[in-house]
Amino acid sequence: MSDRKTHWENIYKNKSPLEVGWYLAKPVLSLQLIANSQVAMDAPIIDVGGGASVLVDYLLDEGYANISVLDISANALACVKIRLGDRADVVEWYEDDVISFNPPHQFSIWHDRAVFHFLLDENDRRGYVDALKSALIPKGHVIIAAFAVGGPTQCSGLDIVQYDAKKLQAELGEDFELIEERGELHITPANKEQEFTYFHFVRK
């Protein structure tokens, strides 16, 4: 088991999903940006590093019918499946590390709230972008939320990389065009402030 997998398995083994610092009762900005993409309700959407996020719940509530969740932690995915009950059967589940993810089909939207900023190693970031390019259809949408410049420097005991639009564009490359950028001041369950920026790209 990789160090990265061990870390996240332990997080979701020892903490309630309601206690983790990135918990959101409702992922408002993610839902807005997904709506802004104007994809069909049956367009394939993948939540990368979804963890125990409730994004999948809200997408199902809104009528999206082709949702996948990818996470490195089996414990995290188990939490979501239990929460969804019978609705879990209509979701595709992938227990994998995004940097080595080999998508079985392509997606119209790739959503990532707070995964990419954990990738400190250049090779890991390259693996992520390779997986993204393999997974996303032409003119598909990429929504990435990361700690903003001036925001936190660590999360879950791990160092992170802060991003602005220029820095993230350099990582993704010229195949992607930034069409929307939104800021979020996230208040953690411990009542701490975290500055996020959400970036919405379209694949050219």
Range of 112's domain? 3-203
Helix axes 122-135, 165-172, angle to 10 degrees: 70
In this structure, what CATH number is given to the domain that contains residue 159?
3.40.50.150
What is the model's pLDDT at position 152?
82
| CA gap 122, 119 in Å, rounded | 8
- Higher-confidence residue: 34 or 152? 34
**How big is the chain, counted in residues?**
204
- Looking at the 3D structure of the chain, how many domains does it have? 1
What the block records as the tokens of 19 is 């206690």
- Higher-confidence residue: 172 or 195? 172
Name the 3-class secondary structure at 154.
strand
What separation in angstroms does the CA of 4 have from each of 17, 101, 135, 175? 18, 14, 22, 29
What is the model's pLDDT at position 2?
75
Confirm if 200 and 142 have CB atoms less than 8 A apart.
yes
pLDDT exceeds cutoff 80 at 18: no
Res. 10 pLDDT band, cuts 50 70 90: confident
Confirm if 39 and 108 have CB atoms less than 8 A apart.
yes
User: What's the pLDDT tens digit per position in 40-77?
Assistant: 999 999 999 998 899 999 999 999 999 999 999 999 99
Burial class (CB in 10 A: 0-12, 13-18, 19+), 153: exposed
User: What's the pLDDT tens digit per position in 103-161?
Assistant: 999 999 999 999 999 999 999 999 999 999 999 999 999 999 999 998 888 877 788 99
